[in-house]
Amino acid sequence: MLRQHEVAERIKQYILQNRLGPGDPLPTEAELCDAVGASRSSVREAIKTLTALDIVEVRHGHGTYVGRLSLAALVESLTFRGLLSRADDLRVLSELVEVRQTIEQGLAGPIVAAFDESLRRELLDLADQMAERAARGESFVEQDREFHLLLMEPLGNELITQLTAAFWDVHAIVARTLEVSPESVRETVDAHHAIVRAAAAGDVAAFTRAVEAHYAPVKRRLQEGRGPGGAHA
């Protein structure tokens, strides 16, 4: 009997070979069994695995379809890994910060080139909201997330947008274990305004520096958390 993993791989190959896209229907269970050469029980177990990965979607009463192919599984896996222990927490968050900074600085040129007045107004409004909420001692998680997604939107690269959202979501969850000072909050807010100013001015170097300043506070907290007497969850 074929292993569950092998059946799942055959179903993925079927989707690719038949050029199916998100939302397209898969054949009936019996037809899929014939197509991949596996028993009904094996196909059902493989479908469960692929459903968890968002590769397929089971719509009860309607059938099985190609899934949205989101990065939800990646977010859950990284989040769980980061929360397993304090050591993993810091390591995963440190890696995420490096990845996020690398992506944004690496795309500085295209981001600045695609920047326009409409995007400037939207991002500035979000940065102002962050400042207002910070002044009241409130969280600005939603505004922060929207800011970074909007920053990538003009590039028209769906994978970059999905990765940005996925890494941001994991970052936001795992970072809750770190203590945040009023000074670091102000630095973060100021950095968002600096990012907008630099992009609007068409200054790639200033944009890169602003991104670095944005991640500097969390990098310091991570360093403090690793050392003796550092912050603890």
pLDDT in tens, 51-93: 877 889 999 888 999 987 776 666 666 666 656 555 555 777 7
pLDDT in tens, 158-199: 888 888 888 888 777 777 666 778 888 999 999 999 999 999
Q: Are residues 46 and 129 in the same domain?
A: no
Nearest to 95 by CA among 219, 230, 231: 219
Among 2-16, 98-112, 117-131, the minimum mean pLDDT is found in 2-16
Decide if pLDDT at 33 tops 90.
yes
Decide if pLDDT at 230 tops 70.
no
Residue type, 160: I
Contact, 54 vs 69, CB < 8 A? yes
Is 231 within the bounds of a domain? no
Q: Could you tell me the two tokens for 83?
A: 């929360």
CA dist 125 and 128 (Å) reads: 5
Q: Are residues 40 and 113 in the same domain?
A: no
Structural domain harbouring 176: 72-226
CA dist 4 and 61 (Å) reads: 24
Is 199 within the bounds of a domain? yes
Query: What integer pLDDT is reported at residue 118 of this predicted model?
Result: 96
Q: Find the angle CA(154)-CA(158)-CA(152) to the nearest 5 degrees.
A: 35
Q: Are residues 127 and 113 in the same domain?
A: yes
Q: Are residues 107 and 209 in the same domain?
A: yes
Is 78 within the bounds of a domain? yes
Answering whether pTM is above 0.85, one says no
Single out the residue in 66, 87, 114 at which a domain terminates.
66
Q: Are residues 109 and 218 in the same domain?
A: yes
Total of domains in the chain? 2
Is 175 within the bounds of a domain? yes
CATH code for position 99: 1.20.120.530
